[in-house]
Amino acid sequence: MSAPDAWVIRDVVYRTFAAEGRAPSVAELARKTGLTPALAQQLLRTLADEHALVLAPDGDSVRMAHPFSAWPMAFVVTPCDGRDDRRWWGGCAWDSFGISAALDLDVRIDTACPACGTPLSLPAGPATPPPAELSVWFPKPADQWWDDVVGTCTMIRMFCDRGHVEDWSTAEKVTGGQTIDATTVWRLSRPWYGDRLRPDFAPHTRDHNQELLQECGLTGDFWRLP
């Protein structure tokens, strides 16, 4: 477990993402926490080492704080309430549902099917599952997700249906991976991400997350966490 100051940094990162759809700079983190920029940077690296967030390749800024992304990716998440003009980048299909879960908010998720290019715009929320026909493709087994976590997130995409996953994987000569229905991913996102913004947040243990996967029917070697 990292030092308490690191979790103060983490909380500011998450609050900024939630309120403004962006990651705070190191200077902003230092100003808001009363720490020096050098210490704020050091604590960011500590959090990254613990998989509490992801840094950009040069290590001097936040790239992702799951389920939020600081950079444009394939999913745009916006509140269903037209008076709320916030917008977030979802790193993947799972993270997009996770944003709704973390914020406890009804949202619209906009993306496109990789197979046919059809725009997909769907509501999702605490009591609103996605359309049953949508499918999500996971490119790597769970024990490899953090080998290149940004690359993994980039490839967890949403398709019109399972047939389109098969068409795409054949055309792109993609092997491996697993396809599950989007409703299962939505169900998983609630307990996985729903506590990320709570004041009493504590990192999930490996066994806890494994149990969450099992409760959603995601079992076997592909879904075994390291």
> Who contacts 9 (Cβ-Cβ below 8 Å, separation ≥6)?
29, 33, 35, 40, 43, 44, 47
Architecture per CATH, domain 4-65, reads as: Orthogonal Bundle (1.10)
Over the chain, what is the mean pLDDT? 96
Indicate the fold that domain 75-223 takes in CATH.
Answer: Beta-Lactamase (3.30.450)
C-alpha to C-alpha distances, 72 to 17, 31, 63, nearest whole angstrom = 13, 26, 10
Contact predicate 67/196, CB 8 Å:
yes
Q: What ranges do the domains of the chain cover?
A: 4-65, 75-223
Comparing 60 with 87, the larger pLDDT belongs to 87
pLDDT of residue 220 exceeding 90: yes
Q: What is the pLDDT of residue 1?
A: 52
pLDDT digits (tens, 9 = 90+) for 152-186: 999 999 999 999 999 999 999 998 999 999 999 99
**pLDDT > 90: percent of the chain:** 95
User: In whole angstroms, what is the distance from residue 127 CA to residue 19 CA?
Assistant: 22
Q: Dihedrals φ, ψ of 198, to 5°?
A: -75, 145
Rounded to whole angstroms, the Cα distance separating 159 from 122 reads: 12
Main-chain dihedrals φ then ψ at residue 139, nearest 5 degrees: -80, -25
CA diameter of the chain: 54
